[in-house]
Amino acid sequence: MQMRLCNLIPFCCLLLLSCHADAQINSWQLTVGDLVSELARREVSRAEDAVRPLLETPDKLKHEYHKCLTVAKKLDLVKELNSTHFETVAIERSSPINSGVEMAVPPLVGQGAASRVALQDDSGRIGVWGEGGIGKTTLIKNLNNELRISPSNCFDIVIWVQVSISLDLRTIQSQIAKRIHLKVEADDTTNSIASRILERLKLRKKILLILDDVWEKIDLDAMGIPSNDTCCKVLLTTQSLDVCRRMDIVSPFRLNLMNEEDAWELFADSVGPVVHSDGIESIARNMAASCHGLPSAIKCLGNSMRGVSLVELWQNANHSCRCSSPVGVNLDRK
Domain parsing of the chain, residue ranges = 40-85, 114-254, 260-323
Which residues, including other chains, have CB under 8 Å from residue 144's CB and lie 6 or more apart?
100, 101, 102, 103, 158, 160, 210
Q: What is the reported pLDDT for 2? A: 47
Count other Cβ atoms within 10 Å, centred on residue 195: 12
> Residue 121: is it exposed, middle or buried by C-beta count within 10 angstroms (0-12/13-18/19+)?
middle
Cα(331)–Cα(334) distance, rounded to whole angstroms? Answer: 9
d(CA 192, CA 183): 12
pLDDT of residue 331: 40
pLDDT at 245: 94
Q: Is the pTM of this model over 0.75?
A: no
Write the CA distances from 89 to 53, 79, 84, 85, integer angstroms.
Answer: 49, 19, 12, 10
- Give the pLDDT means over successive 10-residue stretches in the chain (334 positions): 50 53 64 66 66 62 68 67 56 58 74 56 83 87 82 83 90 92 90 92 86 94 85 91 93 87 91 91 91 87 91 90 57 41
**Which amino acid is located at 225 in the chain?**
I
94: burial class by Cβ within 10 Å (0-12, 13-18, 19+)? exposed
Model pLDDT, residue 51? 59
| 260: CB partners within 8 A, 6+ apart | 289, 293
Which of the listed CATH numbers 3.40.140.80, 3.60.110.10, 3.30.499.10, 3.40.50.300 matches domain 114-254? 3.40.50.300
